Structure 1
Amino acid sequence: MKHIICIALLIFSLSSFAQTKVGTVNNEYILSQMPEIKDVEEKLKVYSAKLDSTIQEKYTAYREVVAEYNEKDQEGMNDVMKKIKQKEIIDLEEDLKKLQQNSSQMLQLQQDEYLRPLYNKIGTAIEAIVKEEGFTQIFDENNSIIYIDPKFDITLKVLKKLGIEVKEDAEVIPE
């Protein structure tokens, strides 16, 4: 009897392994090989240069105000004028710092916008291969799941087990 149970478990586990087909993909390598990446890199260089130019303009304006303050201070500025110039200098410093901080975020957002169509193109190719070859899961180079066959998603079963009703039109996996 024990032998029959062991054989049954072995057959069950083998059949469950046979149902899954896992693959990996290196999105970054694929991206680096796409001809469109050169255009994206060029656009990012132009955008980065534009941001750098804006920062340089602000820095030049800041240096001019500081130099003007130092010159007039030596000539004898009254206290009210000193305070006004000091506030102007502080405001320019803060603007410059914010611009420097925001420029890296803006560059990242721009990069994401430029790369999105390329990642979509990669995703479409992955989906085609998944359907052609019967993969159930695909992992990327960071071991993150980038595709899982919806028939292996147990989200609705878990909700049902928890007694939570789900509307018929609810999507489990966003497309």
Structure 2
Amino acid sequence: MKSKILFLAVTLLSTITFSQTKLGTVNSDLIIGKMPQMKNVLRRVENYGKKLDSTFQIKAKEYKAKVDSFKAEEDIMTETDKNNRIQELQNMEQEIGKFRKNGSTMLQVQRDNNMRPLYKKLSETIAEVAKANGYTQILTTNGNQFGYIDEKFDITQLVLDKLGIKE
């Protein structure tokens, strides 16, 4: 008998607990895209990309100059000099290949580093809005496939308002 009462009490408490859950959604990509700081992030990443491209162009010109020099002097070189220059050119090719391969990774790291403060600010603002409006959980709508979302639980506009961003 006691176990039945305990079971009913636990069931009742869990039902009450679940009924107090308020779930909301937010479109974080939309908000991040509208944040004024985003223009600065894009500009910094673009400038960094140009710097990487400039460095790559310098390396490519150096390589081309050494190849042209090698071709021009190949006939008068000793076998040892040829082998040394070929090895030097191969090393430069590998270096250029690594730089090209790492360039996109370096650009992504730079973008992530610049975006981190925006995501932090967004996260803090979402938490404030959620607490102020009694939400217990907030899901992001971007990147997820929802079958149905009731617009009255979407706090995207509330977060935009809190950040002072006008549409």
Partner of 2:92: 92
- Aligned amino acid, residue 24 of structure 2: G
Identity of aligned residues (%): 36
How many residues end up aligned between the 2 structures? 136
Question: What's the CA shift string for 1:114-169, capped at 9, x where partnerless?
Answer: 111111110111110121122222222234xxxxxxxxxxxxxxxxxxxxxxxxxx
Q: How does 1:121-160 map to 2 (within 5 A)?
A: 121-140=121-140, 141-143=142-144
- In the other structure, the counterpart of 2:80 is 80
Match in the other structure for 1:113: 113
**Which runs of 5 or more structure 2 residues have no equivalent in the other structure?**
1-8, 145-167
Moved over 6 A (4+): 8-13
Bigger relative contact order (CA 8 A; separation at least 6): 2
Using the alignment, how far apart are the partners of 2:103 and 2:24 within structure 1? 38
**Distance in 1 separating the partners of 2:101 and 2:138:** 36
1:59 and 1:65 mapped to 2: Cα distance? Answer: 10
TM-score (norm 1): 0.70
Equivalent in the alignment of 2:59: 58
Give the residue type in structure 1 aligned to 2:40.
D
TM-score (norm 2): 0.74
What is the CA-CA distance between 1:34 and the residue it aligns to? 0.7
Amino acid at match of 2:100: Q
1:109: Cα distance to partner? 1.0
How far is 1:17 from its partner? Answer: 3.6
Q: Name the SS for the 1:138 alignment partner.
A: strand
> In the alignment, which residue of structure 1 is the partner of 2:47?
46
RMSD (CA atoms): 2.0
SS, match of residue 20 in structure 1? coil
